[in-house]
Structure 1
Amino acid sequence: MNQPAQPESVPVEPLDAQGLLRLITADFETLPRQLKRIATYMSQQSDRIMVDRISDIARECEVHPSAIVRFSQRFGFSGFSEMQALFREAYTHKTTPVQNYQQRIRTMIANKSQKASGGDLARECVNASRSGLDRLAEELDDEAFDKAVDLVVNADNIYVVGVRRSFAVADYLVYNLQHTNKRIHLISGLGGSYREQMRSVRANDLVIAISFTPYGKETQHCLRIGQHHGAKTLIITDTQLSPLAKRASALLLVNEGSSFAFRSLSATLCLCQALFIAVAYRLELKVDEIQEPADFDD
């Protein structure tokens, strides 16, 4: 006798928002491409879901709204509204800076009768940066941060890689770490030479990779080289669902605020500065070893 076909999965509705996020993380690799985009957004923007419209999420994920409904049903809900209610229950008594900012942006866009001035737009950029910094302070994982400091302190050589918008952060972190006695290498990929610049990485070295969605292929390539040679890896990214996260010896998560589709770098730069300060403290660096000499020509 033929057995009835079994469903692809039998999701059990989680008791709370955090349970749902854990279930999404566990099921991520089995999701179709479009649903993976939605899962990544859910992981990055969990505190925005309660105020997001289905059209907002669809636009951010570049999918049709029906994909949001399929995603909700995949995890045991009748539709998006039922899943959203889970997040409203979790965040009703906790209005976050990101939620406040999102509502303010919507009001500005919807108000067609009043044209925004340059100052208004500038303040929205400032507020976006502030929301990212507030979220970083609230969500920073102390244990993960201490592990990251250990990796930097104990590394023989440190290779730092970040491409496109992350390159500015990588360069800034290299500048800071060069104030220590560590051997610091910026992987710039000048002339396409990523492989050549990673050639000397060895065990007891550390590769620091900074990458956010859509995640630079060059950065992932450098990580694979580093791990092939036995180096430790410190990953700075935006979600545990990032393809870089699975290669992390230590993982630091940071989600930036965005203003009119432009993401800030303020929280990421702050995280890197905090990492350097913690490393300097552990290495007992003196202030005069960090500051430039008074007669140094800038």
Structure 2
Amino acid sequence: MSQVPQSFTTLEERITADYPTLSRRLQQTARFLLDHPQEVAFTTVAQLAQQAGVTPSTLIRFSNSFGFSGFSEMQQLFRARLFDELPNYNERIRAVRTATGETPDSTQLLWEFASANQEALQQLPDRINPDHLESALDIFEKANAVHVMGARRSFVVASYMTYALHHIEKPAFLMNGLGGMYSEQVKAVGTHDALLVISFAPYAQESRDVAEEAHRRGIPLVVLTDSSLSPLVRLADVALIVHEAEVKSFRGLTASLCLTQTLAISLGVRQDKALDLKKGLHKPDPS
């Protein structure tokens, strides 16, 4: 069985290659999907079926024929395409309005974002491997200092993590790339330090370069990312996979911030426990 496509580009290539062997109805579906990717990203199965002139079951059958468990799984690739190709917020807003015909008011958007982020937070503990969480803490605890890097959208999470580490008195440095100096900043990471790289699709090249250099030098590397297929996972000593909320192609950061807060506070608890143990060992004998 062929592997399930993991990107819109791969799906497009598969559809193009398999097109001659598809039934007439599935060929009709294929033409519509590839000709209207923006609408496919947001419209319901029923609405798309009506626009394509097929039945909803045909759309589901089409997605199944390419290995997807359902239409919504395939639809995620169309949404990811829009996210990657339209990085500008205004362009994405216009794309959503064009595809759906909706102009949501602020209250409606607040409910949608709040509900989606709430669901992402509820699922977070079950999706994080406890062993990976403890391994990441082991790396941070042993490190002389923790360097944190996150480019573009990830910068918010990296900045907060650095702030939190300072408050538990763990030496920490934010790699901010000021003046385009990421390569110089990664050279400042010592062999007894640790590096946390935070990166989400489409995975900033700066993040990849920093992770590659850390991996090459043997620096303990923890990666916080959004997929086990992320190019950073193969470089990491520990990878923490976070699934963020997404509303109309706008992705949140709530789960990532919650996870970094957990890492920082858990590390603080470890440090405090180690300090108490050290004090106990040096307590004078009352006899």
TM-score norm. by structure 1 comes to 0.62
Name which of 176, 179, 200 aligns with 2:164: 176
Contact 1:202-1:229 within 8 A present in 2 as well: no
Deviation at 1:111, TM superposition (A): 8.9
C-alpha distance in structure 1 between counterparts of 2:246 and 2:265, whole Å? 26
Q: Runs of 5+ in structure 2 lacking a partner?
A: 14-28, 42-60, 72-96, 275-287
Which residue is equivalent to 1:45?
Answer: none
C-alpha distance in structure 1 between counterparts of 2:181 and 2:229, whole Å? 28
| Cα-to-partner distance string for 1:138-163 (whole Å, 9 max, x where unaligned) | 31211111111111111112110000
The within-5 A match list for 1:1-298 is 11=1, 34-35=9-10, 79-82=62-65, 86=69, 116-284=104-272
Deviation at 1:80, TM superposition (A): 2.1
TM-score norm. by structure 2 comes to 0.64
Moved more, 150-159 or 266-275: 150-159
Return closer, same or farther for 1:60/1:257 CA change in 2, 3 Å cut-off.
farther
Which residue is equivalent to 2:54?
Answer: none
C-alpha distance in structure 2 between counterparts of 1:86 and 1:216, whole Å? 30
| Cα-to-partner distance string for 1:236-268 (whole Å, 9 max, x where unaligned) | 000110000001101101011112211111110
Return closer, same or farther for 1:199/1:84 CA change in 2, 3 Å cut-off.
closer
Contact 1:256-1:264 within 8 A present in 2 as well: yes
Q: Higher helix share goes to which structure?
A: 2
Deviation at 1:115, TM superposition (A): 6.2
Deviation at 1:130, TM superposition (A): 1.1
Deviation at 1:166, TM superposition (A): 0.3
C-alpha distance in structure 1 between counterparts of 2:234 and 2:39, whole Å? 24
Return closer, same or farther for 1:216/1:110 CA change in 2, 3 Å cut-off.
closer
Instruction: Count matched residues.
Output: 213
| Cα-to-partner distance string for 1:101-122 (whole Å, 9 max, x where unaligned) | xxxxxxx99997x964321111
C-alpha distance in structure 2 between counterparts of 1:160 and 1:139, whole Å? 23
Deviation at 1:32, TM superposition (A): 9.2
Fraction of identical pairs, as percent: 29
| Cα-to-partner distance string for 1:35-91 (whole Å, 9 max, x where unaligned) | 2899xxxxxxxxxxxxxx9959965999xxxxxxxxxxxxxxx95235678469xxx
Runs of 4+ in 1 over 6 A off after TM superposition: 108-112
Contact 2:233-2:239 within 8 A present in 1 as well: yes
Which residue is equivalent to 1:44?
Answer: none
C-alpha distance in structure 1 between counterparts of 2:269 and 2:254, whole Å? 22
